[in-house]
Amino acid sequence: MATLAILFVVVLLINLMPAFAPPTWMAMSWMGFNVPEGKPFVFALVAAGAATLGRLILATFARTLVRGHLMRESDRQNIDVARAWLAQRKRLTVSAFFLYSLSPFPSNYLFIAYGLSGLPLRNIGAAFFVGRTASYTIWAYLGRFVSERIDPETQFEGGYLSAYFVITQLVLLLLVYAMTKLDWKALVDERKLRWRRSIKPAGRPEHNRAARR
C-alpha cells in the first residue's frame, strides 16, 4: 500500500509540471524493474489515475489563469474559432486524446493547449485515463520482463535531461505559443495557414490631441 501511495504522489507531481517533466513511462518501467513481485495492472491503474488528475489540474490552470487573466481578448477570440471547431467534433477529439495517450510522448503541452480553449475536460480525461492505463501496463510488464533477465545491480547510464529531451520540450513550448498566434479563422474557413496580424487599439482622439499639446 505504501508503494502505491508513493507511486501516486510521484506520478501526480510529474504530471503537474508544465514543462521539462520526466516521462511517466520511466517511472512505470522503474516500478516493474524494481518491484517485480507487484501487479503491473494495479500499478498502471494508480499511475493512470494520478497522471489524469495531474493533467486535468494543469489544463484547468491554463484555462483559469492563462486564458482567464493573462491572455489578451484578441487571442481568446482567435482561439475561440478553434474551440468552436473542436466542439463540433467531440468524438474526433476524444479519439485523438485516447490514441495519443497510448504513445510515450509528453502530454503536458496537449492539455495546456486544450485548457486554453476553455472546453470541458471530462471526456478527454476519461479517454486519457483509459489509454494511459493500457500503456502504463505495458511499460510495467516490460520493466518486470527486463528485471528477470538483467542483474538488478546493473546501472543504466544517462538521464532524461538529454539534449534531445530539452530541445523537444522547447519545440513543444513554442508550438503552444504558436497556437495562440495562428489565424484560426483563416485555417478553418479558408484552409490557409498564416499568422494572425496584431491589431493595435486606436487611441482616443481627445487623448491624442492632449498629447500633442
In a domain? residue 203: no
Number of domains in the chain: 1
In a domain? residue 128: yes
Three-state secondary structure call for residue 55: helix
In a domain? residue 183: no
Count of residues in the chain: 213
Contacts of residue 121, defined as CB under 8 A and 6 or more positions apart, other chains included, come to: 56, 59, 60, 114, 115
Residues forming beta bridges with residue 182, ordered by sequence position: 195
Structural domain of residue 118, as residue ranges?
Answer: 2-150
In a domain? residue 77: yes
Write the DSSP symbol of residue 70.
I
d(CA 161, CA 117): 30
CA angle 96, 99, 101 (to 5 degrees): 105
Residue indicated by cell numbers 495517450: 101
Mean pLDDT of 129-145: 86
In a domain? residue 189: no
In a domain? residue 174: no
Percent of the chain with pLDDT over 70: 78
Q: Convert the pLDDT of each residue in 148-201 to its tens digit.
A: 555 544 444 445 455 655 676 677 677 777 777 777 777 777 777 777 765 444
Least confident of 9-18, 25-34, 118-127, 147-156: 147-156
d(CA 92, CA 89): 5
Average pLDDT, the chain: 79
In a domain? residue 15: yes
R_g (Cα) of the chain, nearest Å: 22
Q: Are the C-beta atoms of residues 97 and 124 closer than 8 Å to each other?
A: yes
**All three cell numbers of 102:** 497510448
Asked whether the whole model's pTM tops 0.85, one would answer no
Return the pLDDT at 99: 94
Three-state secondary structure call for residue 4: helix
Mean pLDDT of 58-64: 92
In a domain? residue 98: yes
**All three cell numbers of 109:** 503541452
Q: What are the C-alpha distances in Å from 8 to residues 43, 49, 66, 134?
A: 9, 8, 27, 17
Q: What angle separates helix 163-181 from helix 108-117, to the nearest 10 degrees?
A: 10
Q: Is 20 left (phi over 0), alpha (psi -120 to 50) or beta?
A: left
